[in-house]
Chains A and B, each alone.
Chain A
Amino acid sequence: MNIINIEHIAKIYQVGSEEVHALADVSLRINKNEYVAIMGPSGSGKSTLMNILGCLDTPTKGLYDFSGENVSQMNDNELASIRNRQIGFVFQTFNLLARSDALHNVELPLIYAGVSSHERRERAEAALENVGLKDRMTHKPNELSGGQRQRVAVARALVTNPSIILADEPTGNLDTKTGADIMRLFHEIHEAGNTIILVTHEEYIAEHAARIIRLRDGLVERDEEVVNRFIPV
């Protein structure tokens, strides 16, 4: 079943008198419980594609259908709602609220979803336990290691039971070992039935996924199954 169906989308920026085609013409489909990596050198349009996939931005042209909803025509509020309910973000720089503890950071999307404080707390605690941070709930981000921060971010992404997890260079700010731990966590999440889209420029990170989409100059260069997929143990 398709979760994401993109048809001929383009993103054009006006820079002075010049038109810049960040995305020229991209079409792709992503199914439920897929594990997809999006790769490409800088300037290939992978950030733009990620923003559009994450409903942070809308395409200039083309159609974006997210599990039956036409995202390309949505207004700000509808986009906010779909981000809140359907998408879990994991960023390279973690993007946690510095002044709030782990628990509150994980609760935040539930606040915006209008979940009662009691249920919120239960779900946030469960999500943190799930990523192995049961004993770090009251710690603030600056009291946590990089790996732990990223785990909090993953917990925040998972807590709303989103349709897709969108991870943008999730290991970019981590050392190799911690990075491997996070990738193992993603593997587990995927095994549990979640759909993951991983944006990276590292080949060995991308090989954790089952499918790699390579972009170049705003076009899909290749879209293929990973032959020697790396399965963490």
Chain B
Amino acid sequence: MAWFRLMILGVALLAAPPVAVQWAGSFDSIRQAASSVRSVKADFVQHKYLKILTKPIESHGRFVFRAPDSIRWEYKTPIKSVMIMNHGDLSRFTFHKDKWEKDAAARVEALRVVVDEIQSWLTGKFEQSKAFRAKLDTGNGRVLLEPRQKAMADIIQRIVITLDKRPASIKQVEIIEGPDASTVLDFEHVEIDGHLDKAVFSPPK
């Protein structure tokens, strides 16, 4: 009989609605929670799903944000790369033939759209995105972003951001390109307002 009770409990847990993220009742409350954050540090695991692969391509990295406009987005495996925005100045470095090489300015500018998006998410200003229209799914603690323009929709169909229970913290970002491809970023070891090394927004050595 015990197994039957356990099974009932399991089904009940599965059927229960997800716990709403308290701090994310509205875009205003998200913005308010984000405004008090000075910095965020987190590790991330990126899974790239492709229909032709049985297993996703896995990448690992580290993410650092300092309000209002400094970001370090670093990939450690399988390719070493660091994108740095320091007070709005954007640059990217890739580890090529045993040394760090700075990307050409034109290519970096193409990434500015992405960085601007990330910045607007981290400051809770989802509604201010020029490229995406934001909808809040309060029941599931998610923000759904849909492209405003067809040109963007041809590249990315939608983005789903799952918010963490901790205020001003993002748990997962899912980028859906179409039926054949998507990318999921899971954030872990998130540290809010922790100590930041002085060199964190400097070029890699």
Chains A and B bind each other = no
B residues bordering A, Cβ < 8 Å? none
A residues bordering B, Cβ < 8 Å? none
